[in-house]
Amino acid sequence: MPGLLAAAFALAWAIAHHGWLNPYQQQILMYVGINVILTASLNLVNGYMGEFAVGHAAFMAVGAYVSSLMTVRLFPFQAAPYLFPLALVAGGAAAGVVGLLVAFPSFRTRGDYLAIVTLALNMIVKSAIENVEAIGGPRGFLGMQRLTSLPWVFASTALALYVLRNFIHANLGRGVLAIREDEVAADLLGVDTRRVKLYAFVLSSALAGVAGGLFAHVVQFINPRSFDIIRSTEILVMVYLGGIGSLAGSVIGATFYTVALEWLRFLGQWRLAIAPLLLVLLMILRPTGIMGLREFVGLVPRDERGLRGRLARLGYGTVDSGGGAAPSAPEGSASPHGPA
Amino acid sequence: MQFLAQQIVNALQLGSIYALIALGYTLVYGVLRLINFAHGDIFMVGAFLAFFAAVLLDLPFVPTLLLSMAATALLGVLIERFAYRPLRNAPRVSAVITALGVGLFLEHFTLASVGAQPRHLPPLIETVVYRLGPVRVTTVHLVIFIVAVVLMVVLDRIVNRSLTGMAMRAVSWDKSVVPLMGVSVDRIIALTFAIGSGLAAAGGLLYATAYPVIEPYMGVLVGWKAFVAAVVGGIGVIRGAMLGAYLLGMVEILVAAYLPSTYRDFIAFGLLLILLVFRPQGILGRREVQKV
């Protein structure tokens, strides 16, 4: 796995350095990576934890604005390319802090109310940015250099997936899955549900902030409208297209959606009408998304593969919903969802 | 004082429109436990249908209203039949995502077929200004208020006094036993969608009458706000939706009147968050006890 990653990173570097793909194709690849981060991080909350958060673009906005402010206003022009990772981390941290603010009201509420809280947050963040003249208000903010490159996107995406993978398969992650199946039962079994939710929310929002920072430095122009509820909906679509509770699904969903929308460009405005129609069809025919709880081998830690894999093949731990709805594992399967 | 009274008239107008849309959310939620995220876009389609009825068929106000309500009710039933019914026993999240998908489809279908440029609804009501002391009340204010209140009273009667309403409440209480009473759950749910979508269309026409610009994305923000209104009042509770809608209308108009209008969404949604922290079930909602 590390060898494969190193080779992929070298390839990403070579493409960017030697211009093997034209700038348009490179840009699409970068969007794919950014969308993978967004999708995978939202999947932690929506897919693995079974909550329903809808305002992911808010965290992206915080990350985009904070990191852009740093590279444009704080860092000297020449040093900005070297300090770029610092800006990304700061953007992620700021988004994480905002995620903390969402986590608290969400403890008091359950189910659909998290949707409302995150939706309200999305509106509030957008409206707040519009009202601050110092960062351009509704006109937006520009002046960023094009600091995001393919290797940066690749490294961030790989790191995000790695962190999420380890989180999900750590003790905290088992708590996350337990909350999805039944929050009350998880609480009774000694899962510190507040702490688990807090960590999951903060991690998810921080990663979205990093993605926002990358996004801002690709397009070099951000305005509040880039982070409205329509963008959030798009992220949701990618999550459910790929499959809930699956990192591989997030990768596939984000890639498929991003690339397909580019391919369909010849349809003009109709392409945006066809994409949601496909989503509706997908939900009716295959409600768990393309991957639906299955995982690629590389995205499961090695010591997790044996027993859980066998249990999954025996039919234990394959759950149809995972969406915060009724838990429906077969009788007696105490084991959570194994990768197939 | 005079300024405040005028703002209250404006708030009643906005609140009436929100109320009609919020009722659709709350009806569908009450019966199906589904947040119908496509509802805002149904409102938008209703406004466009009214626009075409008014422009192409050259209809006056009342026939335009009835026609767009009927056509949009049919649309609601079709959406329920083909998008939501296959998912009735699926996990709830699938249905919610489908609703998001349907909403996006309606937006972009409208965008692709009628274009992005904003349209102007021709004035269907002759504007006459009455002066109640210092306060200006126009026929538009009056018509909007009266139409909304009439529809709300009719709905309240249907739900609380008629056999159909009793069946709707029964489905909302427990879907599994209703068929045993000889009531077709499918028909009741379809009817709920028809009523909710029809009310949204009425909201669409009234909105286009008050703020005469219509465009394909108009349903997004208005729809979310009506949803907020339904939640504030207690989602699933019909009178709560009306109360929440008028409260939200009041907050928005007062914020826009006394502060820079760009703070409107900020404060409206901020208040929503604060309310949810203290009363997650909404003002008139009952707390659901989770049984273990």
Residue A304 scores a pLDDT above 70: no
Which of B44, B87, B104 to probe the A interface (max A CBs under 10 A)? B104
CA atoms within 13 A on the CB side of B145: 14
Q: Which residue has the higher pLDDT, A61 or A229?
A: A61
Q: What is the mean pLDDT of residues A62-74?
A: 93
What number is the average pLDDT over the span B175-197? 91
CA of B73 to nearest chain A CA: how many angstroms apart? 20
CATH of the domain at B11: 1.10.3470
Helices (H), B33-89: 39-56, 61-79
For residues A193 and A183, the answer to whether their CB atoms sit within 8 Å is: yes
**pLDDT confidence of residue A316:** 54
What number of other Cβ atoms are within 10 A of residue A17's Cβ?
11
pLDDT of residue A325: 39
Residue B99 lies in a domain: yes
B283: in domain: no
- Please, which pLDDT band fits residue A329 given cuts at 50, 70 and 90? very low
pLDDT at residue B273 in the model: 81
Q: What is the mean pLDDT of residues B269-278?
A: 81
The answer to whether the Cβ–Cβ distance between A127 and B263 falls below 8 Å is yes
What average pLDDT score do residues B156-164 get? 91
Binding-face residues of A in 294-333 toward B, CB within 8 A: 320-326
Residue B274: closest C-alpha in chain A: A105
Identity of the residue in B97, B108, B262 whose CB atom sits nearest the CB atom of A273: B108
Residue A89 has pLDDT above 80, yes or no: yes
**A229/B contact by beta carbon, under 8 A:** yes
Task: Sort out which chain B residues have CB atoms less than 8 A from A127's CB and list them.
Answer: 262-266, 269
CB B221, CB B96: distance < 8 Å:
no
Cα radius of gyration (chain A):
20
A143-170: average pLDDT: 91
* Residue B286 within any structural domain of the chain: no
CB contact under 8 A, A127 and B265: yes
pLDDT of residue A80: 84
E strand map for chain B: 119-120, 129-132, 135-138, 213-214
Q: Residue A3 pLDDT > 70, yes or no?
A: yes
Least confident of A26-40, B7-21, B225-239, B262-276: B262-276
DSSP annotation of A191 reads -
Q: Report pLDDT digits (tens) over A269-283.
A: 787 788 788 888 888
- The yes-or-no verdict on residue B281 having pLDDT over 90 is no
User: Are the beta carbons of B199 and B155 closer than 8 angstroms?
Assistant: yes
pLDDT score of A323 = 40
A29 neighbors A153 (Cβ within 8 angstroms): yes
For residues A50, A55, A57, A62, the Cα torsion angle rounded to the nearest 10 degrees is -110
Spell out the domain ranges in chain A.
1-230
How much is the pLDDT for B291? 58
Interface contact A237, partner B, CB < 8 A:
yes
For B115, residues 6+ apart whose C-beta sits below 8 A from its C-beta are none
Mean pLDDT computed over B98-117: 89
What integer pLDDT is reported at residue A314 of this predicted model?
54
Residue A300 clears pLDDT 70, i.e. is over it: yes
Q: Which pair of tokens denotes residue A59?
A: 């965290």
- For residue B87, give the nearest of A233, A270, A287 by CB distance: A287
User: pLDDT exceeding 90 applies to what percent of chain A?
Assistant: 33
- One-letter identity of residue A332: G
Indicate whether B288 pLDDT > 70: no
Greater pLDDT, A233 or B19 = B19
Checking if the pLDDT of A315 tops 80, the result is no
What is the distance in angstroms between the Cα of B226 and the nearest Cα belonging to chain A?
12
Confidence (pLDDT) at A111: 62
Would residue B285 count as lying in a domain? no
Q: What is the DSSP letter of A245?
A: T
Q: How far apart are CA A105 and CA A117, in angstroms?
A: 8
State residue B290's pLDDT score.
Answer: 59
Q: Stretch B135-157: mean pLDDT, rounded?
A: 92
Give how many domains chain B has, as a whole number. Answer: 1
CA B103, B107, B113: angle at the middle one, nearest 5? 140
Q: Which residue has the tokens 């509106």?
A: A123
* Mean of per-residue pLDDT scores for chain A: 82
**Rounded distance, CA B187 to CA B195, Å?**
12
Closest by Cβ to A184, choosing from B266, B273, B292: B292
Query: In this complex, is the C-beta atom of B105 within 8 Å of any C-beta atom belonging to chain A?
Result: yes
Higher pLDDT, A129 or B266: A129
**Å from A293 to nearest chain B CA?**
14
pLDDT of residue A309: 59
Return the pLDDT at A66: 95
Range of the structural domain that residue B29 is part of: 1-278
Per the listing, tokens 């339904």 go with B230
Residues in chain B: 292
Residue in A262, A257, A272 with CA at minimum distance from that of residue B109: A272
In a domain? residue B287: no
Residue range B209-254, pLDDT digits in tens: 998 889 998 998 888 889 888 888 888 888 899 999 999 999 999 8
Residue B180 to chain A, least CA–CA distance (Å) = 24
CA-CA-CA-CA torsion for A82, A88, A89, A90, nearest 10 degrees? 100
pLDDT at B127: 85
Cβ–Cβ below 8 Å for B94 and A120: no
| Identity of the amino acid at B262 | T
User: Chain A: nearest CA to B33, how far in angstroms?
Assistant: 10
Q: Could A284 and B272 be called an inter-chain contact, meaning their C-beta atoms sit closer than 8 Å?
A: no
Residue B191 lies in a domain: yes
Comparing A326 with A122, which gets the higher pLDDT?
A: A122
Residues in chain A: 340
pLDDT of residue A336: 41
Going by pLDDT thresholds of 50, 70 and 90, the confidence category of residue A297 is: low
What DSSP line would sit under A129-172, residue for residue? HHT-GGGTGGG-EE-------HHHHHHHHHHHHHHHHHHHHSHH
Average pLDDT over every residue of A245-265: 89
Comparing A96-105, A108-117, A275-284, B150-159, the range with the smallest average pLDDT is A108-117
**Which residues in A lie closer than 8 A to residue B100 (C-beta atoms)?**
233, 236-237, 276, 279
B276–chain A Cβ distance below 8 A for any pair: yes
Task: Count how many pairs of residues, chain A against chain B, have C-beta atoms within 8 Å.
Answer: 142
**Euclidean distance between CA atoms B58 and B121, whole angstroms:** 11
> How large a percentage of chain B has pLDDT more than 70?
98
**pLDDT reading at A332 higher than 50:** no
- At B100 the pLDDT is 85
**Residues of B36-61 as b/e, b for ≥16 C-beta within 10 angstroms?**
bbbbbbbbbbbbbbbbbbbeeeebeb
| CA distance linking residue B16 with residue B147, whole number of Å | 9
pLDDT of residue A293: 65
Express each pLDDT in B33-59 by its tens digit: 888 889 999 999 999 999 999 999 888
Q: What is the DSSP letter of B211?
A: S
What does the pLDDT average to over A88-102?
Answer: 93
Helix A229-242 crosses helix A271-285 at what angle (to 10 degrees)? 40
Whole-angstrom distance, CA of residue A45 vs CA of residue A201: 7
CB-CB under 8 Å, A276 with B104 = yes
